[in-house]
Structure 1
Amino acid sequence: MVNVNYCKNSFLILLFISLSLFILSMKFLLVDLVYFIEWEIVSLNSMSVVMTFLFDWMSLMFMSFVLFISCLVIFYSNQYMESDFNINRFILLVLMFVMSMMMLIISPNLISILLGWDGLGLVSYCLVIYFQNVKSYNAGMLTALSNRIGDVALLLAIAWMLNYGSWNYIYYLDMMNNDFSMMVIGGLVVLAAMTKSAQIPFSSWLPAAMAAPTPVSALVHSSTLVTAGVYLLIRFNVLLVNSLAGQILLLISGLTMFMAGLGANFEFDLKKIIALSTLSQLGLMMSILSIGYYKLAFFHLLTHALFKALLFMCAGVIIHNMKNIQDIRFMGNLGMSMPLTCSCFNIANLALCGMPFLAGFYSKDMILECVMLSNINFFSFFLFFFSTGLTVCYSFRLVYYSMTGDFNNSALNMLNDQGWTMTFSIFVLMIMAIIGGSMLNWLMFFNPAMICLPFIMKMLTLIVCVIGGVVGYMISHVSLFFFNKSIEFYNSSFFFGSMWFMPTISTLGVIKVPLIYGLNCFKIFDQGWSEFFGGGMLSNQLKSYSLYVQEFQNNNLKIYLLSYMLWVFVLIMLLFLN
């Protein structure tokens, strides 16, 4: 009973804080209010250690969404993790994770950002290895080491900012594009954001992090760890406009979006498909951010958090009921056994696709229309729209494999929608996935604006989505019953399905080869020539000299007589010569 109360108390407290922050963010948004708070921790002579916090509508709204999803995830975990003896430890880890994210959101200072940034990295490692097995340990190490690159980039940015009077980057945003030093800091911040938001070439850790419990995946992929990089760049949005960093980020994020969408169409693990869809949406946010629409990126960040958390929670219920089977080929016709869960799952899928008047529609449709208005090249334009089509394609493929067709699992099963705790969390998020986009659209963009485009361009988003959905459903159906082209073209399928060999390069290429090379160097040099002619030889020589000295120190009478006679002989010779 203690565990149940522990979860419920956390749920109620976080929900209350979330609602309070959301109301406060509305106040700040309407009157255009910003609070910059400095808290002096230590003051010694002329030196003072100051903690700074930035409260504006953006930070308050994002915090309210993070806490809202966190409270539902904790409530959901109450039943999902009920067989875990250490559920209190799990809830504490989740709360530490959320607190690290809070620190990152309200920090206008690179030092305090690093506290939240490293906190996210450390706690995410603890959560990824929560199920203690070899796969989890490998995934945790890949996650931690990939994120360390971003941590080092932030540390370098902090060191470079010693050239200035303060670590509060918010003072220097206006001069970032004009000053070379600030451009270096901007480049390091972009690198850090790319590692945390898993852009190419740091993408392999995101699907690997699926080794964590499903409630953690719902939290990580919706509003915390992977969105930290996007949020940081939203704060640094000035440096991406008309700059080299922005152009490079546009290319890399577009390729990430394309690669993730393509990979999800070849994947059969339910959680990895949803993880790759997260990667695709992160690429979309980064792309639109690099063009200069930072408010749109933030809008999509919030709407994506709602339906992505819902997707993971529904996937968690399905996996929970299927006795930990995650392969979608073993599912099928789940709508008959779990109608409520599958309805919510389909609503989340349609929101992800950008179905009109669901949460994802308002942000994705506006993003794609702004892309059509922007001055970008054809390659980036193609990546945006083709990736959108791929998103709908893998979503309908997922619907086909899991919701329709024949049931492919064993005849003895206990599939149902029982468990009101998980159902409650899913139902609340389902309502938000329906009304959230419309609500945020009215709140964030209260000055109405019309995007005027030709009819074919206005309908292009809808056409791409319809084609993607039909292709995804039909190819799945045909490949099951008639012929399977993925086996015929195995090499191409393996290349696209393995994220362009990125996991192999990130593990064997980056870790194994240097380690083997280092071992050979260690054997040849440190334990070979260097040992023989270096420290080893010096040690042997000094040892032999010390043996001679030891004879004198042993008070040997023969040595004293011999030395006495030697000195007498030397004196006689000197006298004789004189």
Structure 2
Amino acid sequence: MILSICMIYSLSLLMISLMLFISSLNFMINDMVIFLEWELLSLNSMSIIMSLLLDWMSLLFMSFVLFISSMVIYYSDEYMEGDENLNRFIMLVMMFVLSMVFLIISPNLISILLGWDGLGLVSYCLVIYYQNVKSYNAGMLTALSNRIGDVALLMAIAWMFNYGSWNYIFYLDSMKNNFEMQFISYMVVLAAMTKSAQIPFSSWLPAAMAAPTPVSALVHSSTLVTAGVYLLIRFNNLFMNTYLSKLLLFISVLTMFMAGLGANYEFDLKKIIALSTLSQLGLMMSILSMGYPKMAFFHLLTHALFKALLFMCAGSIIHNMKNNQDIRMMGSLFNCMPLTISCMNVANLALCGMPFLAGFYSKDLILELASLSIFNSLMFLFYFLSTGLTVCYTFRLIYYTMSGDFNFNSINSVSDEYWVMLKGMLGLLFMAIIGGSMLSWLIINTPIMICMPFMLKMLALMVSLLGAYLGYELYQYKLSWNLYMMSNYYTLNYVGNMWYMPVISTIGVNFYSLKIGYKIVKSIDQGWNEYLGGQSLYNYMLINSKLLTKIYKNDLKIHLSIFILWVLILLLFML
């Protein structure tokens, strides 16, 4: 049997992932950290040194990134089989993964910037992969939004000059009260907010759905969007218990709420899953800003497992539906795609925090820690509302795909016969079931007993059940129709359109600035400047030239008149 390029890369990544996982266990048990410095170039007194940081966190994260990447590349073998440029696609995905690995193991801001910019550049190439107007617009929005964070990181690098080295890891504890280090923390948080699509930089995340589905599975699980969260986990000592952490908490909770609300009004399958990623990123950022970096990392890994699976199942459904992504066209899919829908439902339930699936171990613990944390009632309300909204849009999606009638061309066109894609999904299904419990045993080395009142302990379950019921009502159109009758069209459009953020990020940035520029050009460059400058000079010279022409044409009469005038003046002076 001849192995395809996808299978070769997939097997290689899987083997490396397994080795890294075993190494991370070794580092965890022995409490080891290895700091490598490799001198690339030495010239007189200057030396360029490449630094690498290997600890249990970086090794574990790398193993998860490579495991998910191996499954996604294996899945791409069948999903992208009609593509003439499959080799180029696989190379782009590999560059994407290597940029992320480079970022994970960097304790140095310069090498972090290389991985960071590598992610931004390759993500642009992958988003515009299908080469149409929608893809180009989405790619531009993605690249320019992330560029803001790149500039913030460059400013942080410039301010690190004050310390004589860019190895930030040496200065986090000792210099955290310095003004320079506080400024660096602000820049790093801004960079992380753009990469992890927090408000007001959220609009690029659903737009990036223009990329092929295997890329979406990779981007939304363990690579691009998680880079910001991982960077803040490394820098968390800088901004703990500061004004910045409170600001980040507010923004992340607001992002979580906005994404959950928006997903309930969306009918595009990939966009619903993209908004769920945005909601979960808000959850990670919020628990991180409360001072629980390990919990944020725990949820980062568990979320990566079921979110990659969710996107792969969505890709399989879209593939079967002849590239149609509208959930209103689906229905009764469990009759003809039982394996795919089973995988999708497991991933959906893990996202909701169903007990004993991957999402439960991190999400339930985060909600209980949030209940014990000191923040105001508004944050608490948003936290649990967002949890309810997550379950709401998840169950709405389940009802749309499983219940009712099949609303597309022919039910015979839908089948579960894409075996390579199914094998890729089943590899992740296993981890989406056992991954949460395995990670909780590894990361939380001592059992945590959180003692709370019964009603507070049951609040997460109650909110989830209420959300599931609301999802059913939204599927039945009852609640959405009542809401529509109670409020006007503009309110619903505002809620369902991510609070107009995509419009503000595109038309809001270029339309008004171009309009003001046009007015400035018309009023100044082609207006007053012309009136007082070129045109005025031209008119002045024209009038003078006409006068001179008149003088030249009547020169004899004028000469005689001047001669007589001159004689009269002489006579006056002589007398």
TM-score of the aligned structures, taking structure 2 as reference length: 0.90
Is 1:342 paired with 2:341? Answer: yes
Q: 1:111-510, aligned counterparts within 5 Å?
A: 111-411=110-410, 413-479=412-478, 483=481, 485-486=483-484, 489=487, 490-510=489-509
Q: 1:59-138, aligned counterparts within 5 Å?
A: 59-138=58-137
* Inter-partner Cα distance in structure 1 for 2:464 and 2:351: 11
Report the CA distance between 1:521 and its aligned residue. Answer: 3.2
Report the CA distance between 1:483 and its aligned residue. Answer: 4.6
Q: 1:552-571, aligned counterparts within 5 Å?
A: none
Report the CA distance between 1:452 and its aligned residue. Answer: 1.1
Paired residue type of 2:398: V
* Inter-partner Cα distance in structure 1 for 2:477 and 2:151: 48
Distance 1:208 1:167, change over 3 A: same
Paired residue type of 1:116: G
Percent identity reads 68
Contact 1:40 1:51 survives alignment (8 Å)? yes
Report the CA distance between 1:219 and its aligned residue. Answer: 0.2
Paired residue type of 2:263: A
Paired residue type of 1:269: D
Structure 2 runs not aligned, ≥5 long? 538-575
TM-score of the aligned structures, taking structure 1 as reference length: 0.90
Distance 1:85 1:452, change over 3 A: same
> C-alpha deviations, 1:535-554, integer Å up to 9, x for none?
9999xxxxxxxxxxxxxxxx
> C-alpha deviations, 1:300-356, integer Å up to 9, x for none?
000000000000000000000000110000001111110000000000000000000
* Inter-partner Cα distance in structure 1 for 2:504 and 2:514: 14
Paired residue type of 2:220: H
Contact 1:176 1:186 survives alignment (8 Å)? no
Distance 1:536 1:8, change over 3 A: farther
Range with bigger deviation, 196-205 or 414-423: 414-423
Paired residue type of 1:502: M
Contact 1:59 1:105 survives alignment (8 Å)? yes
* Inter-partner Cα distance in structure 2 for 1:14 and 1:415: 31
> C-alpha deviations, 1:28-52, integer Å up to 9, x for none?
1111100111111111111111111
> C-alpha deviations, 1:519-573, integer Å up to 9, x for none?
44345555666689889999xxxxxxxxxxxxxxxxxxxxxxxxxxxxxxxxxxx
* Inter-partner Cα distance in structure 1 for 2:301 and 2:531: 63
* Inter-partner Cα distance in structure 2 for 1:283 and 1:421: 34
* Inter-partner Cα distance in structure 2 for 1:233 and 1:526: 47
Q: What SS does the aligned partner of 2:50 have?
A: strand
The CA RMSD over aligned residues, in Å, is 2.0
**Alignment partner, residue 555 of structure 1:** none
Paired residue type of 2:16: I
Paired residue type of 1:467: L
Contact 1:177 1:243 survives alignment (8 Å)? no
Q: What SS does the aligned partner of 2:48 have?
A: strand
Report the CA distance between 1:475 and its aligned residue. Answer: 2.8
Report the CA distance between 1:229 and its aligned residue. Answer: 0.2
* Inter-partner Cα distance in structure 2 for 1:415 and 1:343: 15
* Inter-partner Cα distance in structure 2 for 1:473 and 1:27: 47
Contact 1:239 1:246 survives alignment (8 Å)? no
**Alignment partner, residue 540 of structure 2:** none
Report the CA distance between 1:517 and its aligned residue. Answer: 2.2
Q: What SS does the aligned partner of 2:224 have?
A: coil
Paired residue type of 1:138: N
Report the CA distance between 1:406 and its aligned residue. Answer: 1.5
Runs of 4+ in 1 over 6 A off after TM superposition: 531-538
The aligned length equals 537
Contact 1:328 1:398 survives alignment (8 Å)? yes
Q: What SS does the aligned partner of 1:43 have?
A: strand
Distance 1:372 1:483, change over 3 A: closer
Paired residue type of 2:379: S
Range with bigger deviation, 240-249 or 518-527: 518-527
Report the CA distance between 1:492 and its aligned residue. Answer: 1.9
Contact 1:240 1:291 survives alignment (8 Å)? no
